[in-house]
Every structure is written in C-alpha cells, then in structure tokens.
Structure 1
C-alpha cells in the first residue's frame, strides 16, 4: 500500500514561499514546522511498516499532526493577510 507523505510543501503547494519566509523569520513557526516533520516522519514509518506501533499510538500521532497542521495553516493565512 502506498501512503501520502503529507509534507508541508504538499499540504500548502501554493504557499511554498510563505512557508520558507515564516520558517526563516518566525521561531515559533519553525518549531511547529519541525515538530510537524518529526510527527509526519513517525507516521510514515509506521504506515510503511518500518516501525511498530499500536493503533492507539498511530491515532495519537495523526491527531497531533492534524493539530500542528491547523496551527501552521492559521499562521500561513495570517501571513498572507498581512502580505508577508
């Protein structure tokens, strides 16, 4: 089975420049983006059966990824609104 990687660039393809700008200029955004990458990597490894995890652990990671994605999305929308 093939899994979608869910990288931020794939989640926000129209906002690549905003992603780079925010990561370079806003520390909190960089922390969120880095954490998103870590969580997303863990999920991908579990789904590709490279790492073992319980269903509960996988669901917890997916919930965390979604929460991070929501926060990142809000920051991107705010940055677009002010022209950053």
Structure 2
C-alpha cells in the first residue's frame, strides 16, 4: 500500500491508519487481494448509481470473491468499532 491508498481509505471508510509516515508496515496485497479491493472500491463509490449485483457481475465475481469481500467488511467494521 501507499500513503495515498491510506488517505483514500480514510476518505472512504473514515478510518485513520495508525501510521501516516512514508514507511508503510502493511504489505502490498497480492493480485487477488488487489482485485477484491478494487471491487470493494467500486461497490462503495457506485452504491447510489448501480446495484451491487451488477458490479459483481461486471467483475465476474465468484463465491470466493464474495466471501472475501464479506471478510474485508467484517474486518473494517471491527476496526471502526475499536476506533470509537
């Protein structure tokens, strides 16, 4: 990840990363992880314009993709709960 991606996460999810320095301790996601983050980004940004099923179809999402998206959402919710 980059600091720019962390800033984007802050804008989208209102979660401030613990580290805003130039040294990021989070490893770059693999190709599948990057794909899941891209799908999640589109789901969030387009939620008022396009239904989630359409976005998932456009990305040819699999059951495994959807399960991973659900896991990411659970982790984000947990992170938000601990920040309050």
- Smaller-chain TM-score bracket: 0.3 to 0.5
Q: TM-score, normalised by structure 1?
A: 0.40
